[in-house]
Amino acid sequence: MVSSKRNVFGTKGEMGIDFMVLVLSVSWFCLTSICVSATKQAYPPTPQPNQNLRFDQNGEFKILQVADMHYANGKTTPCLDVLPSQNFSCSDLNTTVFLNRMIKAEKPNLIVFTGDNIFGFDSSDSAKSLDAAFAPAIASNIPWVAVLGNHDQEGTLSRAGVMNHIVGMKNTLSKFNPPEVHIIDGFGNYNLDVGGVQGTDFENKSVLNLYFLDSGDYSQVSTIFGYDWIKPSQQLWFQRTSAKLKKAYISKPVPQKDAAPGLAYFHIPLPEYASFDSSNMTGVKQEPDGNGISSPSVNSGFFTTLLAAGDVKAVFTGHDHINDFCGNLMNIQLCYGGGFGYHAYGKAGWPRRARVVVASLEKTGKGSWGDVKSIKTWKRLDDQHLTGIDGEVLWSKSTGGNQG
């Protein structure tokens, strides 16, 4: 049984700068000439009716990130890397219980699943596994979204089939791909607007922009070893979407000076996640391979694209289950969710965990709510008390940037 992403590739190779430039140049050429490697949406599924996201009357919007559930077959699926005392009774159902506890404790406005939602290799029926994995979110009636990881498609559904199934589920705001883009790599690239408090000047503006991308699974280029990466077609879509949102935000009514803050969610971490150690991050880096992260072996430049766009304040990924840190690089916070699922590899005695992010609005002189003032985060552990740890401010309007 392939139980860990580390077993798939082993040691990752290093790529020279000249080769990376060549790869990117070829990719951009493919994009402009409608390269056949991009995903053509012939018959995308019909999305769920739009459900408007907005800040609540307390001026807050809370997001629960669930990374790497690795759900398979429920009570017959064993747990991995737990204490000996837990082995006998532990199964996928522990993941379900943890998700229910987190939803009840945090009461989020949105639940985001950042890939490897199921472990297709061990699932006997991918559709049933997806239904069971997302059941607590559906039952809560809280809006939720998902992106794909590198293991979701390894069962009875293709990658497109998995995303198609997700889009058709109840209460989800997930999208197969942006309807206005006919050719784009991957399945599940989309954005969501979060409006201001109803009844305020910002009720018809998106004061927080959420971006979701498919970071792929494994390299499809025979000469490139390892995991997949975010392609030029996806980056172009992000750039255009970010620019469009900025234009709307700085225009009437209530014209603003700059873009609304944004958050990005996908599965495989960017190579820039390797920039951190215990001196410049909050949380831990425990992955044993290479430099402690499992990113693509080529750098597709998406971090530079994020920097140039200027609106994304934090990126959230999964994939590396025993990393859970956030680090500030050039005023963008790069964060892990931390391993959530019990059928995913972990570390015995190191509790499964989830990340919470809260964006808070500024109080105006009229006693109303304005735009986003700060973005904070913390994690909760799956222990008796759902212990909260590592609370920090990711971004604050008053300082004009992220907190280090």
What are the tens digits of pLDDT across the range 259-297? Answer: 999 999 999 999 999 999 999 999 999 999 878 999 999
- The pLDDT value recorded for residue 122 is 96
Note the pLDDT of residue 403: 55
pLDDT tens-digit map of 118-165: 999 999 999 999 999 999 999 999 999 999 999 999 999 999 999 999
How high does pLDDT run on average in the chain? 89
Say what the pLDDT of residue 345 is: 98
Architecture of domain 58-394: 4-Layer Sandwich (3.60)
What is the pLDDT averaged over residues 356-376?
95
Mean pLDDT of 40-62: 72
In this prediction, residue 14 has a pLDDT band, given cuts at 50, 70 and 90, of very low
| Residue 199 pLDDT level (bands cut at 50, 70, 90) | very high
- The token duo for 331 is 């005023």
Rounded to the nearest 10°, the torsion over CA 181, 185, 187, 191 is: -50
Residue (of 265, 158, 216) closest to 27 by Cα position: 216
pLDDT of residue 53: 97
Task: Determine the Cα–Cα distance for residues 155 and 162; give it in Å rounded to an integer.
Answer: 9
Identify the band that residue 16 occupies on the pLDDT scale cut at 50, 70 and 90.
very low
pLDDT of residue 365: 83
Judge whether 237 and 179 are in contact, CB under 8 Å: no
The yes-or-no verdict on residue 30 having pLDDT over 80 is no
CA distance 63 to 259: 20
Q: Which of 50-54, 184-188, 349-353, 398-402 has the lowest mean pLDDT?
A: 398-402
pLDDT of residue 20: 43
Is 80 exceeded by the pLDDT of residue 104? yes
Between CA 312 and CA 261 the distance in angstroms is 6
Q: Is-contact 271 201, C-beta < 8 A?
A: no
User: What is d(CA 73, CA 120) in angstroms, rounded to the nearest whole number?
Assistant: 10
Q: What's the pLDDT at 366?
A: 82
pLDDT over 70 for what percent of the chain?
A: 86
Segments making up each domain of the chain, as ranges:
58-394
pLDDT for res 50:
53
pLDDT at residue 36 in the model: 37
Are 329 and 323 within 8 A, CB to CB? no
Helix (H), strand (E) counts: the chain: 7, 17
| pTM of the shown model | 0.89
Give the amino acid at 220: Q
Whether the pLDDT of residue 29 is over 80: the answer is no
SS (H, E, C) 221-249: CCCCCCECCCCHHHHHHHHHHHHHHHHHH
List the single range of 21-30, 110-119, 355-364 with lowest mean pLDDT.
21-30
Judge whether residue 399 has pLDDT over 90: no
- In the prediction, which pLDDT does 379 show? 98
